[in-house]
Amino acid sequence: MSQEFTEIISNLTLIKEDDGVPKNIRSKIDGAILCLNKDGKEACLKIDEILQQLDEISNDPNIPTYTRVEILNIISVLGGYQ
C-alpha cells in the first residue's frame, strides 16, 4: 500500500505547491498529506479520512477546475482501495 500512497502524496504535493490554488485549499491538502504519512492507523481508516477531506476540497467553490479534476482523480484511485 505504501507505493500507492507515495504516488498520491506526490500528486497532492504538486497541487499544494501550485500558486494558483487558494491558500485554504492548500492548507486542507497539507492536512490530507499529513494523514497519509501518519503511522499507527490502518490503511482503510486513512483512506476513509482522506476521501472525506478530498470530497470537501472538491466541493469548494474557489477551487480551480483543473485542480478539481486532479482531486477527483485521486478520489477515484483511493476509492478503488476500499
pLDDT category, 2, cuts 50, 70, 90?
A: low
- Split at pLDDT 50, 70, 90, the class of 82 is low
pLDDT digits (tens, 9 = 90+) for 62-80: 999 999 999 999 999 988 8
What are the tens digits of pLDDT across the range 30-57?
999 998 888 777 878 888 989 999 999 9
Sorted by where each starts, the structural domains of the chain and their CATH numbers stand as 2-79 (1.20.1440.50)
> Who's near 73: CB < 8 A, 6+ residues apart?
11
Answer for the pair 36, 44: CB distance below 8 angstroms, yes or no: no
More confident residue, 12 or 38: 12
For 46, the grid coordinates are 486513512
